[in-house]
Homo-oligomer: A and B are copies of this chain.
């Protein structure tokens, strides 16, 4: 792996839960030598991707990332464009909707929306990574990804995951019951870009105790419609169904 790869890996250590890190801590959790780590950090800092805070000299993400994301959204309005649809989906179903994107082989949460009417909500964190093997979004994506096999095989629950994926292909949406989080039923559809490759997922996470056959139907139909809308908005097209009857 090249030097810049190591530097960029350091950025992955910054999360919602841990937005600040000291030098030694970063060196430990990245496996890099302290001196190496320090050099990479200062190099990232000099470009504004990181900054050092007050007297503790901890590192956190810097203001340069704001420019990059503004440019990305201006060039490819992935997030902002999808937000209204996401909000509508949350309202229509009365549950939490969220959008995720495949980034460097991982599933990254991009955005989410709550239904205003519910007191009990399934809470989400954006800017975090979702495990492929334990989420409906993961299954929806794996069902339509080109080389999903290695990812599936690597999962701790490869068998049930495989079953979930087969089901997702058949029904058009993936479903998990209290898998990633207890008492949360999740439903997800894949999203596609202009080349027909699956690049993300749209999901609804519902509180399990509320679930009824009616709500199930409401969610799945609204979800499929919203998914098609976002895919269209991204200039995308669902892939041609292979093996369909003539």
Contact = CB atoms under 8 A, between A and B. Distances in A.
A65 B69 contact: yes
Contacts of A64: 103-104, 108
Contacts of A57: none
A9 B46 CA distance: 11
Contacts of A4: 3-4, 7, 40, 43-44
Nearest to A9: B47
Given A5-B43, A60-B76, A63-B78, A71 B19 contact: yes
Q: Could you say how many copies of this chain the assembly holds?
A: 2
Given A43-B4, A195-B54, A62 B103 contact: yes
A40 B7 CA distance: 12
A79 interface: yes
A144 interface: no
Contacts of A20: 75
Nearest to A109: B67
A158 interface: no
Interface residues of A, number: 51
A11 to B, nearest CB: 7
A224 to B, nearest CB: 23
Chain A to chain B: the 4 pairs with minimum beta-carbon distance, closest first = A69-B69, A70-B127, A48-B103, A19-B75
24 contacts: A2-B39, A3-B3, A4-B43, A8-B44, A8-B47, A11-B68, A14-B71, A19-B74, A48-B103, A48-B108, A60-B76, A61-B75, A62-B72, A63-B78, A63-B101, A63-B108, A65-B68, A66-B72, A66-B110, A66-B127, A67-B127, A68-B69, A69-B69, A70-B127
Interface of A: 2-5, 7-9, 11-12, 14-16, 19-20, 39-40, 43-44, 46-49, 54, 60-76, 78-79, 101, 103-104, 108, 110, 126-127, 194-195
